[in-house]
Amino acid sequence: MSYAATTARQIRDHLRHTLGRACLWCGSTTDLQFDYELPTPDGHHELAYRSRMVAYVRQSRVGNLQLLCATCHARKADQDWVMTHLPQISDRAPRQL
Ligand SMILES: [Zn+2]
């Protein structure tokens, strides 16, 4: 385990602690993932792990980071996508990547 990776994990643990270690929607404490409350296209999914943690810290400082479990996160991702594309699609259209 490299020093950089250890530090990234410490950042992640700190953020989880700050956000209460539970899914904001259902209270689950397993499979937790960070989510931008307001979708922000900063390309953080393309970043290396540590840079992504730093991006999460930045969002948490402006109050835009929340903790969701994998199930709720997937549900929100779908909602975010639908809201962004609503004018172009009909209800329940398949997701285009
Ligand atoms: Zn949940």
Show me where the domains of the chain are located. 3-88
Distance in Å, CA 71 to ligand 1 centroid = 6
Question: What pLDDT was estimated at residue 67?
Answer: 97
Q: How far apart are CA 88 and CA 9, in angstroms?
A: 40
Q: Give the pTM.
A: 0.77
Say yes or no to pLDDT of 82 above 70: yes
Q: Name the CA radius of gyration of the chain, rounded.
A: 15
Write the pLDDT tens digit of every residue in 11-68: 999 999 999 999 999 999 999 999 999 988 889 989 999 999 999 999 999 999 999 9
Distance in Å, CA 19 to ligand 1 centroid = 13
**Widest distance between CA atoms in the chain:** 48
Say yes or no to pLDDT of 89 above 80: no
Distance in Å, CA 2 to ligand 1 centroid = 31
Which residues fall within 8 angstroms of residue 22, CB to CB, at 6 or more apart? 28, 29, 32, 67
Distance in Å, CA 35 to ligand 1 centroid = 12
Write out the residues surrounding ion ligand 1, Cβ under 5 A: 23, 25-26, 28, 69, 72
Question: What pLDDT was estimated at residue 41?
Answer: 83
